[in-house]
Amino acid sequence: MDRRNFLKLSTASASACLTGFPVHGLTQSLPQGRICLIILEGGLDGLAAVPAVGDPEFNPARSELYAQNALEINPFFALHPSLKSFAEMLFNGEAAIIHATAFPYTKRSHFEGQNLVETGLQVPFSSETGWLGRAMDLAGIAGRALSLDTPLVIRGTNDLANYYPSSITGSREASLTVLEALSAFHSGPFSDSVAVLRDQQMANSSEPRVRDAAGLALTAGQAMRHDEGPRVSVIRVNDFDTHANQGTDFGRHARQLAIVDEVFDGYRKGLREKWRDTIVLTATEFGRTVYENGSAGTDHGYGSVGFLAGGLLKQSSVYANWPGLSRRDLYEERDLWSTLDYRAVCAACIEAALGLEHDVIAEQIFSEPALPRVFNNLFG
């Protein structure tokens, strides 16, 4: 695939999920903070997004895949030029980058890895609930999703409903008669689903019909801005599996990063004054190989990078216990090491936004009592 084709493949899909609506009557005791999670599907190449230009091994490894117009953050790290809004947040003191980090998973399978990003555990396919869902349960917030499916990461709360704008034009919504009859005749999840539709119909809710990532983030942010609105949202951006023709300043990977950038920007615009109570974070299943493969791309790896932004951060920072890029410093001589369990970052975000205690988060959400607390590094 050459560059011309990246442009044609621009129908990158994204889906968003809004959740954690306050339960009526409990509003007083609710946390003020908001968490927005951006899941980057396919395995984000941390070294392309945040090149370690100060490492002498970087250039030899990445001669073909280095974005020429990367923005200098400090003498050691640069930022991919697609991340314009994020750069602005970084310079405004409301963003952070965590490098050489990953969920604790080293086997390089997308599907196991994606499952662990959502469950927050160490054994693939071992849980039916997700870490954000469990956090919402502990914080006592019920949920509603804004996506076609319900992402695993927020499953775990009892009251999950969802909405996602349909493009089936001209079709009319089912009548109450139909919904009530179906609700009575179905049992289990179907009955719940139909009951939710019936309630939505009765509440006569009308929602905007935008479905691109930026639009969804804006919509999500606007909904989260209200005191009665949701506290948690999830947006998925796919297509980071850049095995071939990854591109540099432009191309496939740059395009996907630009979408991520629009999501950050959409949240900030939608949330307005509530941005100060918000933390937005990214998560991906793994990073990619340090060395380019033979097709101008990178294969599945280990350590990657995480992006954080939002008013809950007191200052901008780049946080990395840098493991080095020379062959002997790499995981299995090929991947960037992870020197920080990314779940520690997730835990700090939960602590900052939902007010749960670190020990509770570590034990009850991530089943990892020894999870390090990095709250003070990021939010202190």
Partner 1 sequence: MGPVYWQRKLGLGRLSDQDAFYDASKSEFVDANLALPVRFTGYSSHLSTAASVEWPDALSYGLEDRIQRTIDKRTAEDAIDEQRLDDEQERSLLRQEIRKRYSVMDIDIYRFFHTGQSTNADVNFRLSVFWLNHFTVADVGPNRELIGDYWGDMICGGLNGSFKDLLYRAISHPAMLTYLDNIYSVGENSERGRECRGRNCTAGLNDNLARELLELHTVTPNFGYSEQDIKVVANILSGWGFIFDKPAPIENPDYRRAFVDYNAEPGAKEVFNTSFSAGPNGLRELTDFLAEQDATIIFLSRKLLQHFATERPRQADVDAVARVWRETEGDLQSIHREALIRSLDYEGQRLLWPSQWAMSVLRLSHSTLFKGFNDIEIDFMEAIERDPVRLQRELGDSFWARRQPNGFSYATADWMSSEHMDRRLRFASLVQRGGRPEITTSDIIELNQFSDSTRDLVAHGSSEFEKFALLTCSPEFLEV
DSSP 289: B
What amino acid is encoded at 221 in this protein?
G
Nearer to partner 1, 134 or 300 (CB): 300
Using CB under 8 A, which of 25, 75, 170, 369 touches partner 1? 170
By CB under 8 A, residue 176 contacts partner 1: no
CB within 8 Å of 320: residues ≥ 6 apart: 77, 97, 98, 99, 100, 101, 339
What amino acid is encoded at 106 in this protein?
T
CB within 8 Å of 139: residues ≥ 6 apart: 20, 30, 31, 231, 354, 355, 356
By CB under 8 A, residue 177 contacts partner 1: yes
Binding part of the chain for partner 1, among 70-78, 95-103, 180-188, 219-227 by CB under 8 A, reads: 180-188
Using CB under 8 A, which of 161, 216, 263, 330 touches partner 1? 161
**Centroid of chain to Cα 5:** 27
Q: Rounded to whole angstroms, how far apart are CA atoms 354 and 364?
A: 14
Which residues in the 23-62 window bind partner 1 by CB under 8 A? 41
Which residues in the 68-107 window bind partner 1 by CB under 8 A? 107
Using CB under 8 A, which of 29, 59, 126, 166 touches partner 1? 166
Contact 39, 236 (CB under 8 A): yes
Binding part of the chain for partner 1, among 23-31, 92-100, 190-198, 319-327 by CB under 8 A, reads: 190-198
By CB under 8 A, residue 164 contacts partner 1: yes
Residue 264 Cβ, how far from partner 1 at the closest point, in Å? 24
Nearer to partner 1, 73 or 237 (CB): 237
By CB under 8 A, residue 169 contacts partner 1: yes
Q: Rounded to whole angstroms, how far apart are CA atoms 76 and 105?
A: 27
CB within 8 Å of 117: residues ≥ 6 apart: 39, 103, 153, 283, 284, 285
> In the chain, how long is the greatest CA-to-CA distance?
69
By CB under 8 A, residue 168 contacts partner 1: yes
Count helices and strands in the chain by DSSP H and E runs: 13, 12
Binding part of the chain for partner 1, among 54-62, 233-241, 306-314, 345-353 by CB under 8 A, reads: 233-241
For partner 1, what does the binding mask look like between residues 312 and 351, x meaning CB under 8 A?
--------------------x-x-----------------
Residue 132 Cβ, how far from partner 1 at the closest point, in Å? 16
Q: What share of the chain is helix, strand, coil (3-state, %, to 5)?
A: 35, 15, 45
Residue 231 Cβ, how far from partner 1 at the closest point, in Å? 20
What amino acid is encoded at 185 in this protein?
F
Using CB under 8 A, which of 137, 159, 192, 212 touches partner 1? 192
Q: Rounded to whole angstroms, how far apart are CA atoms 264 and 216?
A: 11
By CB under 8 A, residue 5 contacts partner 1: yes
Q: Rounded to whole angstroms, how far apart are CA atoms 52 and 49?
A: 10
Which residues in the 271-300 window bind partner 1 by CB under 8 A? 292-297, 299-300
Q: Rounded to whole angstroms, how far apart are CA atoms 228 and 103?
A: 33
By CB under 8 A, residue 128 contacts partner 1: yes
Residue with tokens 């509440």: 203
Contact footprint for partner 1 (CB under 8 A) = 1-2, 4-5, 8-9, 11, 13, 41, 64, 107-112, 128, 145, 147-150, 152, 155, 161-164, 166-175, 177-178, 180-182, 185-187, 189-190, 192-194, 196-197, 200, 238-239, 241, 243-245, 292-297, 299-300, 332, 334
